[in-house]
Every structure is written in structure tokens, then in C-alpha cells.
Amino acid sequence: MKGSFIVPGAVILVAALAATVVGQQTKDAIPQSPVDAIHKLVHAGRFEDMVAKTDSLPLDDPAWKNLFDVLVEAAEQQKDYTYLKRKAQEVLLRSRDSEMRALAAFVLGIGDWRSGQLSDAVAAFSEAIRITPGSELASNAEGNIHEIKDLGTGQPTPHFVAQTTGGAKLDLNDLRGKTVLLNFWASW
Amino acid sequence: MVIVGVSIDTDRSAFERAVSKASLPWPQVFDGGDKGPLVRLFNARGVPVSILIDRDGKIAKRIVAETALRTAVTELLGKR
């Protein structure tokens, strides 16, 4: 019988709290997306909270499309790609969306590559190509495989001939005996 | 040392304006954006990246950040 006295009070308290929260939310504008919230945690260096919040997100949530970028950023900051690779593997296994699985494979490749596991990286990038052949992502994955296999320090520079804006022919073979700095840049 | 600039711009006139404005003295190649042949050959899409090639024609270093490029060039000039 005691409960019947307490309950109305509790209901009022909860209602009051809810009213406060709603009031704050309308004042502080739109509620955050999970990606934004996790991004903020990364910026604050709160990696344990980041892991908890990320783990609570279903593996087929569309938010993963943008979340992987945030997890890459976090891994770079921590210089530890273990968590990134684990989540990429989970999404790769569980997501029903093939584009998302391809992205997860690609991200797994990035994680492997940056942690020095080159053959694993090649396998993961190949998986991304296999899942969505012909896509922009697949083309990026092909470029990364080429870089890992053929563009390492000490490897012969792939030969090229190009035309300079001055109209001269530029043949890499003609530059033997000189140190060359090939500087890719853009005006933007 | 020979410097070769490879522009990954898609807009040729924007690239030409930038070259003359900065009066860059080294040769320039206009590669035409993400699908350009040199961009593909060196997997250089999107990011400003530099490839340092040694006298034997081998890849000496892949330099990604601008500060890393400055350090590498200073080192190289100091060595001569």
C-alpha cells in the first residue's frame, strides 16, 4: 500500500525531468547523429566512450558509411588500428548491404596497411574489388594494391613519358643520374 | 635535383593561372585529375604527394605531408 503513495510522486518527478530534457533539447537545437556524437568523443580523446558508443551501434546501421572515417581518425590518433580492424571485420561479415561490406573490406585494408601487414592489406583490398567490381572504391583499392606491390622504397620507378606545359617531352629515362622530385599538386 | 610538377587539377585554366601566379620555375605536367595517367601510375589521387626518385631511377621515398616534403628537401640539399 505504501507504493501507491510513492508512485504518483515518482511519476511527477519523471515528468518534470522529461520536461527539462525536452526544454533543453529545443533550446540546444537538433539532437546529434551517432556519427557526430562519436566524432566529438574522438576529438575529446575519450576513446573508451567512443568504443562503448560504437559497439552499441548495429552492424547494419547505415551510419557506418560515415563512421569508418571517424574510426580511422581515432586509430591514427592512438596509433593503434586494432579496434578499427575489428569493427571493419564485423561489418564485413554481418552487413547485408554489399556496398557497405565493400567499404568495410577497404577500411580493413587501410588498417592492415597502416599497421604494416601488407599481405593482409592486399587481401582485404582484393575483397573490396571482388564485392563491388568496377566501382570507384574498387578503383581506389586497385591503386592501393599497386602502391603496396610496386611503389615501395627501392623499387624501380615505373617508366613514363609525359609532355610538359612548355611542350617539351619528358622521358624518365633521360633523367637517370639525377635525383628527381615528382611533385603532385593542385591549384585548389 | 630535377623537380617536376604534376598537376592533378581538372580545370586546365585554373592550373595555368596558379602556375603563372606562383611563377613556378620547374617543368609542369597537366595530368587532368583523378584519372590522369601519372596519378594512376603513382597512386596519387586526391592527396598532395611527392615521389623522390634516386639517381639510379629507384623510388627513394614517398612523401605525403607538406611538412614531410620540406624536411626531405632540406635533408637532400644538405647532403649535397
- ipTM score assigned to the predicted complex: 0.91
pLDDT (tens digit, 9 = 90+) per residue, A103-116? 999 999 999 999 99
B55 and A176: CB-CB below 8 Å? yes
Among the partner-chain residues B7, B48, B57, the one whose CB lies closest to the CB of A157 is B57
Would you state the cell numbers that stand for residue A168, as one nine-digit string?
617539351
Find the residue in B nearest to A150 (Cα): B42
Would you state the cell numbers that stand for residue A101, as one nine-digit string?
561490406
Segment 15-34 of chain B within 8 Å of chain A by CB: 15-19, 27-31
B39 and A175: CB-CB below 8 Å? no
- DSSP states along A149-183: HH-STTSBPPP-EEE-TTS-EEEGGGGTTS-EEEE
pLDDT above 60 for A12: no
Find the residue in B nearest to A160 (Cα): B38
For residue A61, what are the contacts with CB-CB under 8 A and spacing of at least 6? Answer: A34
CB < 8 Å to B6, chain A? 162, 182-185
pLDDT above 60 for A16: no
pLDDT (tens digit, 9 = 90+) per residue, B18-35? 888 888 889 999 998 888
Mutation target among A122, A140, A178, A182 for the B interface, most CBs of B within 10 A? A182
Cβ contact B65:B59 at 8 Å: no
CA-to-CA separations, B59 to A95, A169, A172, in angstroms, rounded: 40, 21, 12
Reduced DSSP (H G I as helix, E B as strand, rest coil) percent helix, strand, coil of chain B, to 5: 35, 25, 40
Position B7 confidence tier, pLDDT thresholds 50, 70, 90: very high
The H or E element spanning position B29 is strand B28-30
- Which range among A106-110, A118-122, B12-16 shows the weakest confidence by mean pLDDT? B12-16
For residue B19, what are the contacts with CB-CB under 8 A and spacing of at least 6? Answer: A165, B5, B7, B28
Verdict on whether the full-model pTM lies above 0.95: no
Cβ contact A73:A79 at 8 Å: no
Average pLDDT taken over every residue of chain A: 88
For residue B7, what are the contacts with CB-CB under 8 A and spacing of at least 6? Answer: A184, A185, A186, A187, B15, B19, B28, B29, B30, B31
Q: Whole-angstrom Cα distance, residue A62 to residue B73?
A: 44
Give yes or no for B36 touching A (CB within 8 A).
Answer: no
B28 and A154: CB-CB below 8 Å? no
Q: Whole-angstrom Cα distance, residue A71 to residue A64?
A: 10
Residue A21's pLDDT is 46
Residue B25's pLDDT is 87
